[in-house]
Amino acid sequence: MTGPGARRRALVETVRWLMARGLYAGTSGNVSLRAPGSGRRGAAGAMLITPSGVPCDDVDAASIAEVADDGTARGPLAPSTEWRIHRDIYRSRPDVGAVVHTHSTFATALACLRRPLPAFHYMVAKAGGGDVRCARYATYGTPELSRNAIAALAGGRRACLLANHGALALGADLASARALAEELEALCAQYIHARAAGTPVILPAGEMRRVRAKAARYGPSRR
């Protein structure tokens, strides 16, 4: 990915990708991409982010907002009302290059129950912990909600639920962040179905640590 135009188009393509999989609808959700050169030093939270109040179908490259580390925005449209969560994640997590926030059906349903996603399935480990925490509720767009999300993501976790709100998925890039958002939604659906049928068996912490260690080495490989 090179140049600001390419990065803006990549954000739009990610919105379309999420829409096609039923993870986005209307004006819900937002996506951001860390600005080149921002990280541990300098403008750690500088980013490109989808605009506020624009239906998914209408988001285009020109509507993407640029937000500096101090919260100053540039562009024809205001940035997402959740820009602060994205900025604060980039400030605190130099390993994160992209953030996807969704109001997807099953993740949001679980978040509305204010329940974490436990280790009912080994794939929960892909989110970076033994479970996926549910951040405490706060009004959208507030510093309090941002602090709650950062706390739920502590320890290098790559996903969390937001109580009565939705979900966050983090990645080194847009491809990994959006893939995790899709996997998280599938896991939440499976967990809700399992609870409807009975009581899911929760895997022990030691097994989840072993799975996370194996997952760190997992990926495409040649024979």
Q: State the residue range of the domain holding 184.
A: 3-215
> Catalytic one among 13, 66, 82, 182?
82
In a domain, residue 16? The reply is: yes
Q: What is the pLDDT of residues 114-169, one digit of tens each?
A: 999 999 999 999 999 999 999 999 999 999 999 999 999 999 999 999 999 999 99
Number of domains in the chain: 1
In a domain, residue 221? The reply is: no
Task: Return the closest-CA partner of residue 96 out of 161, 50, 145, 31.
Answer: 31
Q: What is the pLDDT of residues 68-106, one digit of tens each?
A: 999 999 989 999 999 999 999 999 999 999 999 999 999
Instruction: Identify the CATH number of the domain in which residue 82 sits.
Output: 3.40.225.10
More confident site: 28 or 185: 185
Average pLDDT, the chain: 93
In a domain, residue 53? The reply is: yes
Q: What number is the average pLDDT over the span 186-208?
A: 97
- pLDDT higher than threshold 90 for residue 44: no
In a domain, residue 223? The reply is: no
Report if pTM > 0.85. yes
- pLDDT higher than threshold 90 for residue 202: yes
Instruction: Assess contact for 140 and 82: CB atoms under 8 A.
Output: yes
In a domain, residue 208? The reply is: yes
Do the bridges between strand 30-34 and strand 98-102 make them parallel or antiparallel, or are there none, so unpaired? antiparallel
Identify any residues that bridge with 33 across adjacent strands, giving them in sequence order.
48, 98
Rounded (10°) angle between helices 174-197 and 3-20: 20
Q: What single letter denotes the amino acid at residue 130?
A: G
Quick check: is 82 catalytic?
A: yes
